[in-house]
Structure 1
């Protein structure tokens, strides 16, 4: 917090300045115009976080004492504005994304229960992915959360669709236990191939990218894909087995054997 106080003291400070006559006209034009004056404040702070947001609030309060109209620019300010703008819409956007995937699954699977089951499985993987930074006591870029939650839902729900479609096919000739076993054995290679590619790309992106946000996106992509992979291969078959009766009743044109 000492950084915050020092910056605010600097902004509040009214004292000696460099006379404009000492500066070249070309340099002066970069700082002054007919209506605005440019002020540059350099701080050692993160792109986002509670201290950064507190710093921006304090700078705004200090500037408001002397200027009626002002504009703030910078990476921290952009994240601050994005957070305030997007937070209110985040729930709506997530609901729309989930609803869109649900409708697509409803139309393709022709089932009422499967879309709920598949979306719930991937959303659980997303929640697991977002909880990892908390248990590691590390922060997450706000925009990284918005991006990765959408990417993970759209990219890994295909694993669940592939497995569920195979299960429906197997149930036409096998009981639910054998159908679940055959489904995993027949889809595991395809799912593992796709998931492994995404995990490797995510790790490489996180390892070699020098930009903090991009690096974090890479690691979150790898962790999220791993969580989706585990749930689809080890949890979803059990759910299909347990809810076999419900799936049969709520899916169009199904003829499961006993």
Structure 2
């Protein structure tokens, strides 16, 4: 009964215009069951007091997750647009940025999907972290190969030979860069006792390998498939087939 409580204690829990209620939950933090329970409690609370607040570790975590999801979409859009503009200026092309970013974004989606397939947990800030860092750190693999492909095509080399030359000459640099980033981050992941730091480094290490493999095995096929579109949307490449014919004539002579 409230009557047996000291006034100083009762004053902490209840006032003239407010009342504090302590609610314990059997559900784990950040689980779907707890989030559903929080929604139900909020609906009950708003019926009695529209200005009432539901606070605590559970509601705070739920708000952080919802805010992170919104921030993830914004950060992804901003980072993709900025990288798109940089690649477009460097390559003087409209189609190449789409191709390069699509390959790296596929690598990011695979990287973020692996924890779900393996049943492992991932910090709620993981998507924001990896969507920006992996994109910025590994898109240079694709730029390296694409730049060589573009140079070969503009020199009059046929499509297949240009892609093969770009792949053959770029693989050593891509392997060194990718495995170097993997080695640097996996060491921190193994050594660190802080769960968030370890998880972030595992994501980045795995992302480096996934991006490296996709650039080596997927990007050449995309360059082959979209060669016609690339020629039409890249400055200086419209006459590359003409240069190819002239090169073949010179070789024949």
Alignment TM-score, normalising by the size of structure 2: 0.75
CA distance, structure 1, for counterparts of residue 124 and residue 5 of structure 2: 39
8 Å Cα contact 2:92-2:235 kept in structure 1 = yes
CA distance, structure 2, for counterparts of residue 47 and residue 209 of structure 1: 24
* Residue in 1 that maps onto 2:106: 124
CA distance, structure 1, for counterparts of residue 205 and residue 222 of structure 2: 24
Cα shift at 1:223: 1.7
8 Å Cα contact 2:111-2:207 kept in structure 1 = yes
* Residue in 2 that maps onto 1:186: 169
8 Å Cα contact 1:48-1:141 kept in structure 2 = no
The reply to whether residue 196 of structure 1 matches residue 179 of structure 2 is: yes
Alignment TM-score, normalising by the size of structure 1: 0.74
8 Å Cα contact 2:45-2:52 kept in structure 1 = no
1:219–1:41 Cα change, 3 Å: farther
With 122-131 and 139-148 compared, the bigger mean Cα shift is at 139-148
* Residue in 1 that maps onto 2:137: 155
* Residue in 2 that maps onto 1:8: none
* Residue in 1 that maps onto 2:231: 248
Encode CA deviations 1:172-227: one digit per residue, 9 max, x unaligned. 14222222222122211211111112212332232222222222211111221111
- The one of 210, 216, 226 aligned to 1:233: 216
Q: Which runs of 5+ in 1 are unaligned?
A: 1-13, 24-30
1:1-258 alignment, distance < 5 Å: 48-54=30-36, 56-57=38-39, 69-70=52-53, 72-74=55-57, 76-171=58-153, 172-254=155-237, 255-256=239-240, 257-258=243-244
Cα shift at 1:85: 2.5
1:79–1:158 Cα change, 3 Å: farther
8 Å Cα contact 2:68-2:125 kept in structure 1 = no
1:169–1:46 Cα change, 3 Å: farther
CA distance, structure 1, for counterparts of residue 189 and residue 6 of structure 2: 48
Cα shift at 1:149: 1.2
Encode CA deviations 1:97-132: one digit per residue, 9 max, x unaligned. 222211221122111110110011111111111221
Secondary structure in 2 matching 1:179: helix
Encode CA deviations 1:59-113: one digit per residue, 9 max, x unaligned. 7679889996557354x54432122224345434322322221122112211111
Secondary structure in 2 matching 1:142: coil
Cα shift at 1:242: 2.3
The alignment of Structure 1 onto Structure 2 pairs a total of residues equal to 238
8 Å Cα contact 2:75-2:132 kept in structure 1 = no
Cα shift at 1:40: 9.0
With 204-213 and 59-68 compared, the bigger mean Cα shift is at 59-68
